Amino acid sequence: MTLPVYLVAGGLLDGCEAGDVVRVDGPEARHAVAVRRTRAGERVVLADGAGCSAEGEVAEVDRDTFAVRVDAVRDEPEPSPRFVLVQALAKGDRDDQAVEAATECGVDEVVPWQAARSVVRWRGERGERSRRKWDAVIVAATKQSRRTRRPVLGATATTEALVARVGTADLALVLHEDATLPLAGATLPEAGEVLVVVGPEGGVAPEELEALEAAGARPVRLGPTVLRSSSAGPAALAVLSAAARWR
């Protein structure tokens, strides 16, 4: 049976060893107790979102806390190379879908991109609400896919900021329907950072593509068909993961 995973506060599992009892509180504990009806005797996994996980049996349940007696602790090394999805803001919930599936596919960081052709604009309180929603999507997908490392949600990037980051990346790939190089043919670095840039519904604007290429990005295509902004990033990450991680 698949054990439920609960993300705990950073530092809670520091120095944790088999035999220790870890008490969980806050929103995650309330969800476990009130929603999932967690009971004493059940086995669960606690993860700190930074690669450390502790498996054990629930020893005690209160109204809004629970305690786990740990019998196994694992530390997962940080993946290398590091995959970063630069996802252009999209209308509806398409960018939410992209973030969710990308998390399940193993992305290490998600960067919201305010692209020239993005219909949606993140400004003021609305922008903060949208960021919080993306973060909640990442947390839920991290637990669903049983990851011990949760992806980082990067700062919202302008095209200028994205160009600067491309200049420091070990490899930057822009998904584009007119590209001739297939993504599956790209050579990945053994370490460092790999950026995957996905445009909005209207695609990456010509001036954006020119600026990204000038900074060192390489346009690539997934295949003969054009994918939606909600599926292009996760599909690309699956291709990269199959080449570098799923072996």
According to DSSP, residue 52 is labeled E
CB 61 within 8 A of CB 171: no
CB 10 within 8 A of CB 49: yes
Q: pLDDT tens per residue, the chain (247 residues)? A: 688 899 998 889 999 999 999 999 988 899 888 888 999 999 999 999 999 999 999 999 988 899 999 999 999 999 989 999 999 998 878 889 999 999 999 999 999 999 999 988 888 888 899 999 999 999 999 988 988 899 999 999 999 999 999 999 999 999 998 899 999 988 999 899 999 999 998 889 999 999 999 999 999 999 888 888 889 999 999 999 998 888 7
Task: Show the tokens assigned to 135.
Answer: 């973060």
Query: 3-state class of 31 per DSSP?
Result: helix
Q: Of 21, 30, 7, 242, nearest to 148 (Cα)?
A: 7
Output the pLDDT for position 84. 98
Q: Which amino acid belongs to residue 128?
A: E
Q: Of 155, 146, 175, nearest to 6 (Cα)?
A: 146
The full set of domains in the chain, from first to last, is: 5-75 (2.40.240.20), 82-244 (3.40.1280.10)
Q: How far, in Å, are 121, 155, 185, 196 from residue 82 at the CA level?
A: 28, 17, 18, 11
Look at phi and psi of residue 200 and say left if phi exceeds 0, alpha if psi is from -120 to 50, else beta. beta
Cα separation, 75 vs 206, in Å, equals: 44
Output the pLDDT for position 246. 84
CA distance between the termini of the chain: 24
CB 55 within 8 A of CB 44: yes
Output the pLDDT for position 120. 86
Output the pLDDT for position 123. 87
Output the pLDDT for position 2. 82
Q: Of 36, 34, 76, 39, nearest to 57 (Cα)?
A: 39
Task: Show the tokens assigned to 213.
Answer: 């290429």
Output the pLDDT for position 1. 61
Other CB atoms within a 10 A radius of the CB of residue 246 amount to 10
pTM for the full predicted model: 0.89
CB 157 within 8 A of CB 165: yes
